[in-house]
């Protein structure tokens, strides 16, 4: 009797009997078979994916590459090649995420992570930060120098995603569509060009640990950051739709490029010594140079887009000082304006600041250091000053600069 009753149990969804299915799960008033569970799971996934795309459409301000460059020009001076490469990579990435229907040929577009090579202070971080702000997507900056291999003192590579999750207000769907900028990627280069048989805790080991993040994988992330512990609650984040942009100064890569270019100096396309001296060697950088510097081939392969940033010239430094919306001189004018003081810089002072910054080779950051050295005393006195106008002339700038510690720096 019990056997006949057991045989009459059917799936409440498709009507198949227990003997015709692998698994039949009992509920309070009905049953469901494994086949219906699989179909229901697919429907839920499609609905969640469609909702995620709609949320992305609402929050994302997708601009064309030309529109991105127009906006970047208001904040970043020069670096036209890097701007073009980044704008195209970012546009293609988010255009791919916004596609709602699959094509007939089922072509799956893969993401294009970007690596930027450029001297310190040339605008690598500023470019990535500005693009993320323009598009209104979650963005975080991670420093590769603090990363170590799992099990060692320092931070695991998963801590990068913890920062992104925090930037997205713990919205996993938003975080999975964000941008991560990994700074100082050159600092995790392995010490020699030969693969190590021992662990390189802060070098090759970190590069290997980063591979799964960059490629696209389901990663267990501690929401509050820190070390992973068995009892700690984890959040699952899929990295296949996260765009990774890496930047590094790669100090010394110019010599590697020079040796390679000189060794190929045969034929009509060979560069003369004069052309090599005048040209920016970083403009010839390729994946082989980065490999020779110490990044492993597996990591380089996950960065199909490679671009460079030009060293800053005196003309570029002058423009950075005065032209952008957030130019340094405009910032100091605003600071004094808050104390009801009108600040002015003479043209000679601007030339002086640029000349010193160029000699110190600190990039755009050097401009701020020199401005601080010149204006510190004035900013100290400003709240108690009765004058309503202050003009910084060359004599005052030279006097303040000579008093400062930055003047003691030796020029390499």
Structural domain boundaries in the chain: 2-46, 60-308, 314-408
Token readout for 97 is 């995420």
DSSP-based three-state secondary structure for 119: coil
Name which residue leads in pLDDT, 319 or 383.
319
Residue 334's pLDDT band, with cuts at 50, 70 and 90, is: very high
Residue 326's pLDDT band, with cuts at 50, 70 and 90, is: confident
Average pLDDT over residues 241-267: 82
Residue 46's pLDDT band, with cuts at 50, 70 and 90, is: low
Name which residue leads in pLDDT, 362 or 380.
380
Task: Please tell me the predicted confidence (pLDDT) of residue 202.
Answer: 53
Task: Please tell me the predicted confidence (pLDDT) of residue 299.
Answer: 92
Name which residue leads in pLDDT, 253 or 269.
253
Average pLDDT over residues 150-163: 77
CATH of domain 60-308: 3.40.50.300
Handedness of CA 217, 222, 223, 224 (dihedral sign): negative
b/e map 54-69, b = 16+ CB within 10 Å? eebeeebebbebeebb
pLDDT digits over 349-379, tens only? 999 999 998 888 878 888 998 999 999 999 9
Question: 173: how many CB neighbours lie within 10 A of its CB?
Answer: 17
Give me the helix-helix angle, 34-59 and 80-98, nearest 10°. 140
Residues, the chain? 412
Residue percentage of the chain with pLDDT more than 90 = 25
Q: What are phi and psi of 229, to 5 degrees?
A: -125, 150
Question: 278: how many CB neighbours lie within 10 A of its CB?
Answer: 9
| CB half-sphere exposure, 268, CA atoms < 13 A | 0
CA distances from 242 to 45, 65, 115, 175, 239 (A): 19, 19, 14, 8, 5
Residues 48 and 42: their CA atoms lie apart, in Å, by 10
Q: What are phi and psi of 55, to 5 degrees?
A: -60, -40
Q: What mean pLDDT value characterizes the chain?
A: 82
Closest Cα partner for 357 from 183, 121, 125, 126? 121
Alpha-helix residue ranges (DSSP H) falling in 61-203: 65-72, 80-98, 124-135, 159-167, 172-175
CATH of domain 314-408: 1.10.8.60
DSSP-based three-state secondary structure for 259: helix
Average pLDDT over residues 6-23: 82
Token readout for 288 is 């082989």
| Residue 158 clears pLDDT 60, i.e. is over it | yes
| Residue 2 clears pLDDT 50, i.e. is over it | no
| Residue 396 clears pLDDT 50, i.e. is over it | yes
| Residue 34 clears pLDDT 70, i.e. is over it | yes
Average pLDDT over residues 119-147: 86
Locus of tokens 């931070």: 155
Burial of residue 349, with CB atoms counted within 10 A of its CB: 0-12 exposed, 13-18 middle, 19 or more buried: buried
Sequence-distant (6+) residues with CB within 8 A of 349 are: 374, 392, 393, 394, 397
How do beta strands 342-345 and 243-248 pair? unpaired
Residues 178 and 240: their CA atoms lie apart, in Å, by 11
């Amino acid at each position: 009797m019990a056997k006949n009753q057991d045989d009459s149990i059917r799936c409440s969804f498709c009507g198949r009997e227990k003997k015709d299915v692998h698994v039949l799960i009992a509920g309070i008033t009905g049953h469901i078979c494994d086949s219906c569970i699989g179909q229901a799971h697919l429907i839920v996934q499609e609905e969640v994916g469609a909702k995620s795309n709609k949320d992305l459409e609402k929050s994302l301000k997708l601009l064309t590459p030309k529109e991105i460059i127009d906006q970047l020009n208001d904040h970043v001076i020069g670096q036209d090649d890097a701007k073009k490469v980044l704008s195209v990579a970012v546009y293609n990435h988010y255009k791919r995420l916004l596609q709602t229907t699959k094509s007939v040929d089922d072509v799956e577009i893969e993401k294009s992570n970007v690596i930027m090579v450029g001297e310190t202070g040339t605008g690598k971080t500023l470019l990535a930060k500005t693009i993320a702000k323009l598009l209104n997507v979650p963005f975080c900056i991670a420093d590769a120098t603090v990363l170590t291999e799992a099990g060692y003192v320092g931070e695991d590579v998963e801590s990068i995603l913890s920062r992104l999750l925090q930037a997205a207000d713990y919205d996993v769907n938003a975080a999975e569509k964000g941008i991560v900028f990994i700074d100082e990627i050159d600092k995790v280069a392995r010490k020699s060009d030969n693969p190590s048989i021992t662990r390189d805790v802060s070098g090759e080991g970190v590069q290997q640990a980063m591979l799964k993040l960059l490629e696209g994988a389901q990663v267990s992330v501690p929401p509050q950051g820190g070390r992973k512990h068995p009892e700690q609650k984890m959040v699952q984040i899929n990295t296949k739709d996260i765009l990774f942009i890496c930047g590094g100064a790669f100090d010394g890569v110019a010599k590697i490029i020079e040796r390679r270019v000189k060794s190929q100096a045969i034929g009509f396309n060979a560069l003369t010594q004069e052309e090599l001296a005048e040209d920016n060697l970083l403009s010839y950088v390729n994946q082989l140079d980065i490999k020779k510097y110490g990044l492993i081939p597996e990591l380089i392969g996950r960065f199909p887009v490679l671009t460079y940033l030009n060293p800053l010239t005196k003309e570029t430094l002058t423009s950075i000082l005065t032209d952008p919306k957030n130019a340094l001189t405009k910032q100091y004018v605003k600071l004094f304006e808050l104390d009801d003081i009108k600040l002015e810089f003479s043209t000679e002072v601007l030339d002086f600041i640029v000349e010193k910054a160029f000699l110190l080779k600190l990039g755009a950051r050097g401009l701020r250091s020199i401005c601080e050295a010149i204006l510190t005393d004035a900013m100290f006195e400003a709240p108690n000053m009765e004058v309503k106008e202050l003009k910084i002339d060359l004599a005052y700038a030279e006097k303040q600069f000579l008093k400062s510690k930055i003047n003691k720096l030796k020029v390499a």
